[in-house]
Structure 1
């Protein structure tokens, strides 16, 4: 141990520390300065950034033995407070820089260090700084962060006032469609928003820390588990194995379709008979400290009989492959599509036919905050589980039988959450916490390392897709044939629904009168397939959008004009046979056309012998909902002060559920003339709010938004007097009129039949993407220079929040196109190794244009938002690479070596 005297945020502190401890852990655990976040723990994300003696450092990799006695440390807590914001924090709020907010304190500290050093930075100076210091954001796309720093610099130079960037309520009091900062913004920019690990530090005495014993092979029979040595280790309270699980020790995958050959009970909470993938949990060590738990976990001995590892769908489909789940075939679900007349005669007679094979990769979600949670028994004898869950009621029912409790004995709470992008549709952490709390009878806490985040959370399911188009000589599509294979990893949850997406979205956006195809879900031993933004859209639309460019080339047509000829118009139907609810795609192309023509001229003029530039376009479509009659419920209550509280489980994984709830409720309650601060939100606790449904499939603004609208309208109706004025809370109570009302809404939609035909979504989202790239011929490296999106998501609730969703989704699409993958378990188990796109990999030049076609079934005309920006911007990037240098990449990601190989082949 060493004693240090430090000045932390201007306050002298005397500390006794372990010299090998990180500065981040000392600040967080000994001083409770939880504005210092630990994401990757490897110096790759910058969430832990602090200023040490005037220099920006990543505190998670700064050992205390390197911190000088008398050093000065500044954290986000020393930059500004909720009642005294720094200009950087003011600007961050104004530009929507804090989405999930986990990386925000690190960025703000980094920006402070930059502006201390350079008071007049250019945009490139800002981007270079964040790149150099490895400040990583997964939510925003970075543009808003640069905007915020530029405005903060102006305020600090005296060229503008902080008041100039603050939100101002419009004169009419309406917040719908404005840039109102989300309610959580102040807490996020000041580091006072407590994420899971922050709450973990504030758990009561007696809380046990958990460490997992995990498989280091991908497929094996378990012959024995010896915990005896681990149980003797210091601080160990209990080692939990499958024998200690009171329920059936399975997480149900909630099989969606009766033709699924599995039963949905294929995922063990703790492996008992077999290991199905690398990282599978075999035991949980429960100890007094995290270090003790991890040390003991190393002592658990697992006797394994290794089995063949099927790490891809083709391997698992081979004739000699054994069944990964004995009794269930590796190909366990088939989805067909049959729309219109038979395709074969049309292909036989068609003047033009094109076809291609395509592959979309196992994209990792790459949140900055690793998975984390805690659990305990409350005073009512209920098991309470806090986590990053984005499907609270859904997860309650998925884990209850497995852990051995009735559903009413479990309470699910979503902690403030640092991004999930869909991976938290899987309740693995929740089940592990529940089992440990029940087995020990004590509060428990578990926080994954980033290696665990990468190796034991779900990924986007890779998809092998074959598409064929038949067309007239003028480019009119006649027919499409498809075949797709979904590599869903070892666990079946939502695998059948994901495979249905191929029937719904291959060829989406175009009037194709005749379609035939078949898809399948395949069990493999690689990472399990989890929900990921776009959920089937990026996989399905990639192939058909690349093939549209190939068709255009074969016909000698412009790719944008070929799309214009075929997009939905009156009389068109979607691949499921459903009529589109709006027909905005022609208008969207008309808006993009002049920009596209200018981009083509720019690419030609700026290409050189060494660097070729190109432009690519594509169309994206996605549904807002979870298929068929999806529904949601909220409570709306009139308060004693005549404000209103909205209770919902509109889960927030960074997308802005608080802003969505507030904006929708405020619009519905406008007759009361309430200011936004008079609307309170009680969110994401199943003991307090009803089942609003999971936050996925861009369903929440439509489903829960409509439920909020319905609840508010019912409350207004009960408050309305004969003279059309409104009762106060006191008058409601005096007249014995209920002040708390349930709002419910169910989508007017129907499920698809066995051939993929039906009306699965009442609202869709439409996107048009244009990428401009530069390709270095000597290396094959692709650089994004600009990306443009024309988006129709219906009426926009909150422009600040929706802009952030668009920019962030586009950035993830660029990552999918160029760098991101989780194929090699060792190589891809870090942020950098998995191809995380830092700020210089994302263009500063991003443009989003909205076409607000009012949705008949959307609340105040809104549709969903989150999925559409990641439906297929990656296809526009790949099309742009081909336009630049003539190399067509059909298997993602388009790494430089792939492009270079294509150039050499040319």
Structure 2
């Protein structure tokens, strides 16, 4: 290794350093020099988070080796563009347009924007989009619209047509903050490149910190481990230890991650996932050992030298293979199909097969088989965890987590450390969208810290993270739907097969979403349905925004369009006739908790009519235009056992500190908590500068629950209201004025109060009955009606979404910019899900580009989001949830639009150009496009339903339905 001394002019100053010009990238050098605004996401130059200016031209610095850079070259990073006390207009514009969410991509976008405005200070919106497309700047959070808005505002200031003050959000003088687009508290650090994410924290850990690399063999999807040879690896430079499962057990750990059963029909009896694989590999991303060394480079070199001998076993890479009668058991304690949930209603409740008779005798009916793919989350930031024992002896994790307390429950006793001595806190986080609900990465980091009894830093390359982290569950489905002569649906039949991958944890919860959201929010009198979940040898299923429901809508919203066509009814009108109205029941035989459907359709109708007219006007043989609809929605809260706590403290300077675990992953945990606190303390006349947030540290904050199930604003909001009410009452004097901090202290009145709220206070909540599917699990829901407008290139089959409109009901909007961000971001994920995103080929799907992440030109610039603000009856200040409905069904709106445009119905997503072109070619040749045959999901639907009816299981109801396994607690985990 030959080092070279170099000089670069960095942000206007000449700086000297030594580097390995062959090995080191420009990003490596800049980050070592402390310029950690330069983020490394993909590591191969396809995400743009590392963008800097080099001699006046944009480069992706992670892919530019120092050997290709001349000495004394000029480099500009965000740190050279603006500082917290001297912001550039671009930084101000990003903060005030809601263009900063998780913030990981933000420095790269700001540098890219700065370079654009140097060349063209009067760009059109399309100029901006072309620029970001060319320079591969990717944002996974925003949907891009707000970023383009920010560039246009910044350009006005650069041209002198506006001032900095003109583009700032104005605080309301009347202090009515709720619902306004206040700037996020964390955005200033993010636009200045000063937010230290996981890899930045690793750079700044103490010198005695060990660095840890995974030994991830990637030899097979399913195999016996015959031998782990670590002899050569242990002799590598700087290596302290190669840790295997035996070492963790010797240190007192069980090596078994905690699991719990969510469903009475689950056949799982033994926790299925080890921290470190010791006897078998169950999937391609399993980790068998950890290399611990003095540097990251040494740890990685050592990990590469560990040899793993295996004996390959049969590999079942999808539900259909795992469900075959001759398939071997992947886990010895359970059949591959490990849980089933029926849904029976009307005649189906007494005799399931009567639903088939109703369908077969109906005037109109359709049937179809569908597949929704294994969708990768594709957050730009990968995975990095630091672990150490703190000053009070807590095993402490600095990490990315959607539930800091639930992470403790999931670790359980696998590390040999009592859960009462585990501390989890969030680093500034570059998004997750669900994958960080799983604590497998924390278990690895904790294992290294426990075995070494020293601080450690574990980081993964993006490819390692891609194979290690879970994905959205793929799902095969069969269904039939029937209506009468008037277009009223009379019966539905469905059968879902959910692929939960190598590990079962959570699968018997995820599959209940299909049982709830198939044909939501329509009313259907007769239903016979079955949901099944199976283990396979592919990547395990985990949470992803709208967890479990997109698989349901893939079937139901396609069948709605197909039946509308069969009955000769416009798809908008057909939905109008079948939406739930007061008194109607959902497929689970309970009334809908809310009935916003008519008003939402009234709002959407002119947008739909305009879209249809424009599609007809712009349709050509070369570019076919079409329009597609899809209803969607999602539950709010985890149901009857959900609870949350938050605390508020009056400070000596008469300001307030708010304590909670409103986990901030880019969705707005910081601004959400601030908005709730401002509203709850409104009688005291507080302003945003009077509130300090202390968040997401289990040692300091009460448990507000997980950031998932669209629950956090709702549940944490109710807890915040309870805490504020206690504090206000304590501060209030008999004359109606309020005590100061000193007065509180002098009178011996506490200045800090914790409030809690539980869904047990909501009447009538109950889980789905495991024998019938009857139930009412959630106090509130979010609703979305989606309209996609597409253009299909008939020469190539490529589909472009030209406009997207969404009418939603999220209750009262808490922060307008944050809710819009969730809407635009969710819609962009839905478009990607429909057209390009996939994780299937483990040799090819290793980074965001190969997995089909949407770049800016893949997402329309025109995204209309219309909030129907019906105040929620129970939620805080009328708010409900605001995230997951936006990703529930938009993908089917796109698929329905493709069919409307060119007659090709995509049954198995993503709708790649090749699939669409094959359908077009079939039509041109006078053939019908190919459709999948009915999937074999393990046995006949009605035989299964009759068997379940004959063999009911005990229904415990809420709340004591968990069986504690693997040292876990009986806490609710989702």
Judge same fold: TM > 0.5, yes or no.
yes
2:652 and 2:586 map into 1 onto residues whose CA distance is 49
In the other structure, the counterpart of 2:785 is 768
In the other structure, the counterpart of 2:186 is 184
Structure 1: segments with no counterpart, 5+ residues? none
Once the two structures are superposed, the pairs formed by residues 610-759 of structure 1 within 5 Å of their partners are: 610-747=622-759, 748=762, 749-754=765-770, 755-759=772-776
In the other structure, the counterpart of 2:229 is 226
List per-residue Cα deviations over 1:69-126 (Å, max 9, x = no partner): 1111100111111111100001001111110000000000000111111111111111
In the other structure, the counterpart of 1:77 is 79
SS of residue in 1 equivalent to 2:414: helix
Shift of 1:347: 2.4
**Aligned residue among 257, 261, 270 for 2:263:** 257
Are positions 1:851 and 2:868 aligned together? Answer: yes
1:574 and 1:805 map into 2 onto residues whose CA distance is 26
Are positions 1:341 and 2:363 aligned together? Answer: no
Once the two structures are superposed, the pairs formed by residues 539-550 of structure 1 within 5 Å of their partners are: 539-550=551-562
SS of residue in 2 equivalent to 1:402: coil
**Aligned residue among 877, 885, 889 for 2:902:** 885
**Aligned residue among 111, 114, 119 for 2:113:** 111
SS of residue in 2 equivalent to 1:622: strand
Shift of 1:581: 2.7
**RMSD between superposed Cα atoms in Å:** 1.1
Shift of 1:476: 0.7
1:614/1:883 contact within 8 Å kept: yes
Once the two structures are superposed, the pairs formed by residues 777-816 of structure 1 within 5 Å of their partners are: 777-816=794-833
Are positions 1:68 and 2:70 aligned together? Answer: yes
In the other structure, the counterpart of 1:98 is 100
Are positions 1:286 and 2:303 aligned together? Answer: no
2:557/2:630 contact within 8 Å kept: yes
1:253/1:491 contact within 8 Å kept: no
In the other structure, the counterpart of 1:472 is 484
Shift of 1:742: 1.2
**Aligned residue among 93, 118, 127 for 1:125:** 127
In the other structure, the counterpart of 1:136 is 138
1:219/1:306 contact within 8 Å kept: yes
Shift of 1:577: 2.6
Report how many aligned residue pairs link the two structures: 906
1:704 and 1:65 map into 2 onto residues whose CA distance is 52
In the other structure, the counterpart of 2:929 is none
1:250 and 1:446 map into 2 onto residues whose CA distance is 20
Are positions 1:243 and 2:249 aligned together? Answer: no
Could you say if the C-alpha distance between residues 862 and 264 of structure 1 is closer, same or farther in structure 2, counting changes exceeding 3 Å?
A: farther
2:785/2:807 contact within 8 Å kept: yes
List per-residue Cα deviations over 1:386-439 (Å, max 9, x = no partner): 110111111101113111111111101111110100011111110000000010
2:31/2:38 contact within 8 Å kept: no
In the other structure, the counterpart of 1:172 is 174
In the other structure, the counterpart of 1:11 is 13
SS of residue in 2 equivalent to 1:827: coil
List per-residue Cα deviations over 1:312-343 (Å, max 9, x = no partner): 11111112211111121111111111123322
1:608 and 1:840 map into 2 onto residues whose CA distance is 22
2:738 and 2:860 map into 1 onto residues whose CA distance is 51
1:662 and 1:21 map into 2 onto residues whose CA distance is 45
In the other structure, the counterpart of 2:310 is 304
1:581/1:855 contact within 8 Å kept: no
Shift of 1:264: 5.5
1:629/1:751 contact within 8 Å kept: no
1:459 and 1:45 map into 2 onto residues whose CA distance is 20
Could you say if the C-alpha distance between residues 812 and 476 of structure 1 is closer, same or farther in structure 2, counting changes exceeding 3 Å?
A: same
In the other structure, the counterpart of 2:51 is 49
Stretch of structure 1 that moved more, 245-254 or 530-539: 245-254
Once the two structures are superposed, the pairs formed by residues 371-770 of structure 1 within 5 Å of their partners are: 371-747=383-759, 748=762, 749-754=765-770, 755-770=772-787
SS of residue in 2 equivalent to 1:354: strand
2:482/2:563 contact within 8 Å kept: no
**Aligned residue among 290, 294, 315 for 2:321:** 315
Shift of 1:686: 0.3
2:269/2:333 contact within 8 Å kept: no
SS of residue in 2 equivalent to 1:224: strand
Stretch of structure 1 that moved more, 178-187 or 331-340: 331-340
Could you say if the C-alpha distance between residues 26 and 490 of structure 1 is closer, same or farther in structure 2, counting changes exceeding 3 Å?
A: closer
List per-residue Cα deviations over 1:484-503 (Å, max 9, x = no partner): 00000011111000111111
Could you say if the C-alpha distance between residues 181 and 106 of structure 1 is closer, same or farther in structure 2, counting changes exceeding 3 Å?
A: same
2:723/2:755 contact within 8 Å kept: yes
1:255/1:264 contact within 8 Å kept: no
Shift of 1:278: 0.3
TM-score (norm 1): 0.99
1:264 and 1:757 map into 2 onto residues whose CA distance is 29
1:458/1:527 contact within 8 Å kept: yes
SS of residue in 1 equivalent to 2:511: helix
Shift of 1:691: 1.4
List per-residue Cα deviations over 1:846-898 (Å, max 9, x = no partner): 11001011111110010101101101000000000011001110110000110
In the other structure, the counterpart of 2:154 is 152
SS of residue in 2 equivalent to 1:267: coil
Shift of 1:28: 4.1
TM-score (norm 2): 0.92
SS of residue in 1 equivalent to 2:112: helix
Shift of 1:24: 4.0
